Amino acid sequence: MAFVLSLLMALVLVSYGPGGSLGCDLSQNHVLVGRKNLRLLGQMRRLSPRFCLQERKDFAFPQEMVEGGQLQEAQAFSVLHEMLQQTFNLFNTERSSAAWDTTLLEQLRTGLHQQLNELDACLGQVMGEEDSALGRMGPILAMKRYFQGIHVYLQEKEYSDCAWEIVRLEIMRSLSSSTSLQERLRMMDGDLNSP
């Protein structure tokens, strides 16, 4: 979940750059949907995190990859896409339907689907602009491993309410940690809000 939130935040941050800075101009709606998805994840809380302290786990979010600034343009879009796709997959299971309020869950799924559709269009544009897919594989594999760890954790904890709460918090934390990516992108590409 943290991975998904990180991806959402990274998408939000990337879209703050000037149009076309990554070969594609994500719409303002894309940013708004990402913010709404974060709010929905916050509203999905069912348990006090203090109740679940014994269930905490370090999922080894590839934070340096998101915050380190080493991603090329196509890599950034690929990683963001992978984060959204994995988050969508995580919340689009029968187990997640049993764990969360169905109205909020459906709104989150819809928002993630909207973002994925828009990102698919952008991904097609930047894929032709960057070199090989080999350069994207490392970061994408890191994201896949991160989400695999989340899936294994949920299985080991038998999809308990506390396990889902820890995963929800993890995704929110990951997105929060992506704020430095936003600042770096704004500095690299120039702040659109500056006079």
Q: What one-character-per-residue DSSP string does the chain give?
A: -HHHHHHHHHHHHHHTSPTTTTSS---HHHHHHHHHHHHHHHHT--S-GGGGGGG-------HHHHHS----HHHHHHHHHHHHHHHHHHHTSHHHHHHS-HHHHHHHHHHHHHHHHHHHHHHHHHHHHSS-THHHHHHHHHHHHHHHHHHHHHHHTTT-HHHHHHHHHHHHHHHHHTHHHHHHHHHHH--TT--
Question: What does pTM read for this prediction?
Answer: 0.76
What is the set of domains in the chain, with CATH numbers? 24-185 (1.20.1250.10)
Q: What is the pLDDT of residue 118?
A: 82
- Comparison of pLDDT for 79 and 109, the residue scoring more: 109
- What tens digit of pLDDT does each residue of 134-171 get? 455 778 888 899 999 999 999 999 999 999 999 999 88
- Comparison of pLDDT for 122 and 152, the residue scoring more: 152
Q: What is the mean pLDDT of residues 9-29?
A: 47
Confidence of residue 59 (pLDDT cuts 50, 70, 90): very high
Q: What is the pLDDT of residue 25?
A: 57
Mean pLDDT comparison of 9-13, 33-37, 55-59, 168-172, highest-scoring range: 55-59
Q: What is the mean pLDDT of residues 93-112?
A: 91
